Structure 1
Amino acid sequence: MASSAIVIGAGLSGLSAAISLAKEGYAVTLVERHDQTGGRARVFEAGGFRFDMGPSWYWMPEVAADFFQQHGRSIDDYMTLKRLDPSYQVIFGKGEQVSLPSSFAALQAVFEGIETGAGSRLARFMEEAEYKYKTAMSAYVRKPGLHVHELCNGEVMRSFLRMDMLQSFSHHARKFFKDERLLKIIEFPVLFLGATPERIPAMYSMMNYADMKLGTWYPEGGMHMLVNAFTRLAIESGVEIMLNTTVEGMDVERNRVKRVRTNKGVLTANVIVSGADYHHTDHELLPSGKANYSAHYWEKRVMAPSCLIYYIGVSKKIARLQHHNLFFEDDFRQHAEAIYNSPEWPQQPLFYLCCPSKTDDTVAPPGMENLFFLIPTAPGLLDTPDIRNHYLQFVLRKTEEFCGEKIGEQIVYSRSYACTDFIADYSAFKGNAYGLANTLGQTAFLKPSIRHKSVTNLFFTGQLTVPGPGVPPAIISGQVVAEYISKQKVSRYESVI
């Protein structure tokens, strides 16, 4: 009898797991509650605009490329990548901005122009970041996170001190740079990891290597082109994809999931992989008493931020914007306090603005711009129409001040998305957008496990387990759980009867 698998959720981790299991000989059914694949990387069209709903940064392109290569394909046959130059711009107070070129030599010159000696110090900083990145990718990131023994091997032990796990990112950065503008640039990649730079391990300077050396890329047509590529590969691999299919619960007998109940009927399989929100699976889909982790455990987790997003179409071109724009005019410490220490709506938030129509003519009508605003917020905040309107006016005002032209009166399409939408669309625990905070106490085997401790054929993938949030980690997460299942299948998952 052929082995079978049900994967719940067609986000990138679910797609990755489904494709990987199919390669191992499983008959895979991938169920998705929405009318398209992608999960948080879905897309919608309105008023002639096409908006990517979630991820907008494309870093670490080798992760997806290697995935396709492992399946005998070239990702270049599925989508086209363009490296952005400049990678992005950072806007400081009083209209000052810094553009970060894609060339590292040119970037060193930018740093040197801001702080004497910073160009050469950036090279030394990046040497350390490169070591951390390459070591993490080879020795840490692809571990299933089931036991501390996974880290007890020669490469991990030899690298421990150089990985800077016990030093804070903030302290590490300040050994190289003094100018606050440079520190904001260097600290930017960790802002969505779920803690302040003072609490994030210096190990995560590897993200600066991903940013400044590997580059910022854009899939022509939009981020959803990556989802389309994975969806095509899933279909080519024999995965059955069931859209508009909501999982309503699981029946557990003799410590196995026997049935997956959906709005379209009952499904059965040898193996179940949930790429849905981990907490939702634990406490809503499983029967009472079968959760992998208690409600108390989940309440004690430190979450990465949620966010308030605006999808805006404007009927004009805006000269000063680039594809990626970071508005760092105000003090991040007060914004961080409102996210991590005293959860509340921030008074003067930093924000991010993506304008993909600077690169891609297909995402907006001719002569118009496609704008994606994002404000990081604490998870679990109550959002109301008045709050959403208040912050829309805030980001529009700041953008208008920088650009020197009116934008608000040119808006022809507007939609917002926040905590309550993450809960409604993804059953996201506390409306989180980025999973668990990447603190040392929630890393590797200290994250929620990829396997259920008592339901022996239930496994998990996605941003709340290893390796963590983000597009490349989601792809890796699916691979990790599929590889683990494949290695265990002979002795544990022979029959669904």
Structure 2
Amino acid sequence: MTKTIIIIGSGFSSLAASCYLAQQGNKVIIYEKNPTVGGRARQFKKDGFTFDMGPSWYWMPDVFERFFQDFNKQTSDYYELIKLNPAYRVYFGTNDFISICDNLEEIKSTFETIEKGSASKLQNFIDQAKSNYDIAIKDLVYRPGVSPLELITPKTALKLNQFLSNVSQDIRKKFKNEKLIQILEFPVLFLGAKPNKTPSFYNFMNYADFGLGTWHPKTGMFDVISAIEKLALELGVTIKTNSPIEKILVENKKATGVKINGKIIKADIILSGADYQHTETLLEKEHRAYSDKYWESRVFAPSSLLFFIGFNKKIENVSHHALFFDVDFNQHAKDIYDNPKWPEAPLFYANFPSKTDLTAAPNGMESGFFLIPLAPGIEDNEVLREEYFEKIITRFEQLTNQKIKNNIIFKKSFCKNDFVTDYNAYKGNAYGMANTLLQTAFLRPKLKSKKVRNLYFTGQLTVPGPGVPPALISGKLVAELIQKSFRS
């Protein structure tokens, strides 16, 4: 029987879920509070410059392929992928950087020149990471987080020790050079926690990095949003923007509809891809599964200070993706997780999409995206934003041997307060809830409400966790749970 399903939000997980639910034959309507689709993955355009406002790394291409294959499609039916070489560059000081190539053999050679004997160690490390990737990404993450038994398989039993140690320990046992260690620790930052708080099993992120490579959709990550939106529309999904949800209606402990712009809209199922904590505030208190105390006790991934900048010239001595690790990595991590505050000397990331996509900036110009990870919930104001922009742009000039401040045409900032305003993000988090040992799989907030029937959740605060590939998987998992509920 056809059901009417309302989906709140239009990020990756919501769009993915809408496709699966429509494929099942349901009437699916997405309501998005902002003027355009994409959630955190929206696009920003100004004066001929184009920016992805959120995710900018395309990793785990197999997950994207698997998603489209579920609809007898391929990614190439919707967008073109370019493999980046170098994948990225990591700066440790002036004229001191390491470029990560697009294949493991060259990366091993790079490692060997820096630390003798590290090439073979890296091969062994990546072999193990691939084994973990095959278990995690091809199996475990496609489980709905309903029971701890989901994690217990013959293959995971052999990996038990990797859930008891952490990524940082594992890497430091094998490598001594601090630069190589930081490069290997970097990928797990996508999971939203410090490397020494992330189980060793998650080193599968290193295989995603060195084994599968870094890709770029031809005109940016919004290509993927546009692709899934197009697929959703092809499947009959209706999408309505400028439609903020004011309330989720509950009768006899059963979700029956939503209130939007003062209007009541009824539905059989309500699925929220919006921030989980915010979604529960749309319910009366007795219907909320998680208390304020619960959310306060969780380890959240960082917020971010972002700058979208148009330059009137080409930027030199940088790659498409560039990481700036010329300051104390551990101290910045402490300033995010241990003693939340604005870091004295922040690490930062820069992305120049116009290095790969000539449509991202006018001819002879450059589009630049700068990001500083920050603790969620900290103070945010224009004075602090400007102070930190000066810090990183001054270091950028020094580290890349060029002057660029006077070549800025425009600059748009986006920080904690904007994450709250635009996405209703708890404490202004940018990446959801961290994948620590005690926040993995069945220990994360549930896809299905524990208190309200016919109310479901998807996205980075639930299963399987933060990141774009997990968001696509989350959409599939919740759609399967909903379909299962129809049969029961």
Query: Could you say whether these structures have the same fold, taking a TM-score greater than 0.5 normalized by the shorter chain as the test?
Result: yes
* Deviation per residue, 1:355-398 (Å, 9 max, x gap): 11111100001111111000000000111111000111111111
Moved more, 1-10 or 225-234: 1-10
Question: Does structure 2 retain, via aligned residues, the 8 Å contact 1:139–1:155?
Answer: no
Note if contact 1:89-1:100 (Cα within 8 Å) is conserved in structure 2. yes
Q: CA deviation at 1:158?
A: 4.3
Q: Deviation string for 1:308-331 (max 9, x for gaps)?
A: 000011111112011000000011
Partner of 1:96: 96
Tell whether 2:19 aligns with 1:24: no
Q: 2:122 aligned with 1:125, yes or no?
A: no
Q: How does 1:430-441 map to 2 (within 5 A)?
A: 430-441=427-438
Aligned to 2:170: 172
Tell me the distance in 2 between the aligned counterparts of 1:119 and 1:292: 49
| Paired AA for residue 253 in structure 1 | E
Q: How many residues align?
A: 488
Question: How many Å apart are 1:175 and its aligned residue?
Answer: 1.7
Q: CA RMSD in A?
A: 1.1
1:420 to 417, 420, 427: 417
Post-superposition CA distance 1:408-457 (Å, at most 9, x none): 11100100000000000000000000111111000000000111112110
Distance in 1 separating the partners of 2:95 and 2:384: 26
- State the Cα deviation string for residues 223-252 of structure 1 (Å, max 9, x = none): 100000000000000001111111110121
TM-score normalised by length of structure 1: 0.96
- The amino acid of 2:446's aligned partner reads S
Q: TM-score, normalised by structure 2?
A: 0.98
State the match for 2:212 in structure 1.
214
Question: Which amino acid letter does the alignment assign opposite residue 376 of structure 2?
Answer: P
Deviations for 1:282-338, whole angstroms, at most 9, x for unmatched residues? 12x112221111111111111111110000111111120110000000111110111
What is the CA–CA distance in structure 1 between the aligned matches of 2:159 and 2:345, rounded to whole Å?
Answer: 40
Q: Pick from 233, 236, 242 the counterpart of residue 235 of structure 1.
A: 233
Instruction: Give the direction of change, closer, same or farther, for the CA distance of 1:153–1:213 in structure 2 (3 Å limit).
Output: closer
In the TM superposition, 1:126-165 aligns within 5 A as 126-161=126-161, 164-165=162-163
Amino acid paired to 2:328: D
Bigger mean CA offset, 152-161 vs 480-489? 152-161
How high is the sequence identity, in percent, across the aligned residues?
A: 47
User: What is the SS of the residue equivalent to 2:137?
Assistant: helix
Q: Which AA in structure 1 matches 2:287?
A: K
Aligned match of 1:495: none
TM-superposed deviation, 1:151: 2.5
Where do 5+ consecutive residues of structure 1 fail to align?
Answer: 492-497
The residue type equivalent to 1:249 in the other structure is K
User: Following superposition of structure 1 onto structure 2, how do residues 198-213 of structure 1 map, counting pairs within 5 Å?
Assistant: 198-213=196-211
For 1:70, the equivalent position in structure 2 comes to 70
Q: Distance in 2 between matches of 1:159 and 1:175?
A: 17
Residue number in structure 1 paired with 2:260: 262
Inter-partner Cα distance in structure 2 for 1:375 and 1:9: 26
Equivalent-residue separation in structure 2 for 1:256 and 1:157 (angstroms): 39
Distance 1:210 1:264 in 2: 46
Name the CA distance, whole Å, in 1 between partners of 2:385 and 2:286.
38
Hey, what's the Cα distance between the residues in 2 that align with 1:80 and 1:265?
41
Question: Does 2:415 match 1:406?
Answer: no
The answer to whether the Cα contact below 8 Å between 1:135 and 1:159 also exists between their aligned partners in 2 is no
Unaligned runs of 5+ in 2: none
Alpha-carbon distance in structure 1 between the residues aligned to 2:75 and 2:129: 27
Match of 1:279 among 252, 271, 277: 277
| Moved beyond 6 Å, runs of 4+ | none
**Mapped contact 2:94–2:400 kept (Cα < 8 A):** no
Alpha-carbon distance in structure 2 between the residues aligned to 1:288 and 1:454:
11
Q: CA deviation at 1:190?
A: 1.5
Q: 1:245 aligns with which of 243, 246, 266?
A: 243
Shift of 1:221: 0.8
Q: Determine if the alignment matches structure 1 residue 307 to structure 2 residue 309.
A: no
